Amino acid sequence: MPKTITSPVPKFPGTVVLHDPLPLSAVVEWEEALADCKGHPCGAALKILSGMFAEGADRDAVAAEYAAHYADCVESDRRPRCLPGLSDTAAQARTMKAIRPCVAEWHVENFDLANPPGSPKASRSRFVAWLIKEITDLYTEEDPTGDPNASRPAPGTG
Ligand SMILES: [Zn+2]
């Protein structure tokens, strides 16, 4: 059964119908997008980043050190070894691409799914966060426990 959700963001009113269940191909894209957003710091980068949590840490200095590190952290074939993750805005753009295959119907006139609006920033962020939460809820729904056949009448008694 597709799931209809209603936008809580006044700037972008409307409804969205999500595939339920989500297609396997869609969740593959979903996981890739989330991984891209998070980034993959290498061991050396993690060590630098842990400086953020030191007492009296100069967070700007740590961020600058990390930026300098990952710019040069590449494999011998120049593929990046250390991936920094995306800024909030870039992460939303990346995630929107992965949201598309999860959508069965789109009824939000002010928000073009194929070419999402960038502004106003606060409304856009809230709208994208809402979509991410709804899809995450669908994707991470708990496996029900119990006997799936328990409510069926036994053969010959129904
Ligand atoms: Zn690195």
Per-residue model confidence (pLDDT) at position 84:
78
pTM of the full predicted structure?
A: 0.76
CA dihedral 126, 92, 73, 66 (to 10 degrees): -20
Ligand 1 centre distance from Cα of residue 82 (Å): 4
Ligand 1 centre distance from Cα of residue 62 (Å): 14
Task: Tell me what percent of the residues of the chain surpass a pLDDT of 70.
Answer: 96
Ligand 1 centre distance from Cα of residue 52 (Å): 16
Per-residue model confidence (pLDDT) at position 156:
67
Per-residue model confidence (pLDDT) at position 157:
59
Ligand 1 centre distance from Cα of residue 33 (Å): 20
Per-residue model confidence (pLDDT) at position 158:
56
Ligand 1 centre distance from Cα of residue 148 (Å): 48
Q: For residue 4, how many other CB atoms are within 10 A of its CB? A: 13
Per-residue model confidence (pLDDT) at position 130:
97
Ligand 1 centre distance from Cα of residue 63 (Å): 13
Domain boundaries along the sequence of the chain: 1-39+86-142, 40-84
Say if residues 31 and 14 touch (Cβ distance below 8 Å): no
Ligand 1 centre distance from Cα of residue 60 (Å): 18
Ligand 1 centre distance from Cα of residue 86 (Å): 15
Residues of the chain with pLDDT under 50: none
Residues 6+ apart with CB under 8 A from 82: 40, 41, 42, 44, 45, 69, 70, 73, 74
Over residues 89-123, the pLDDT tens digits come to 999 999 999 999 999 999 999 999 999 999 999 99
Ligand 1 centre distance from Cα of residue 49 (Å): 11
Per-residue model confidence (pLDDT) at position 9:
97
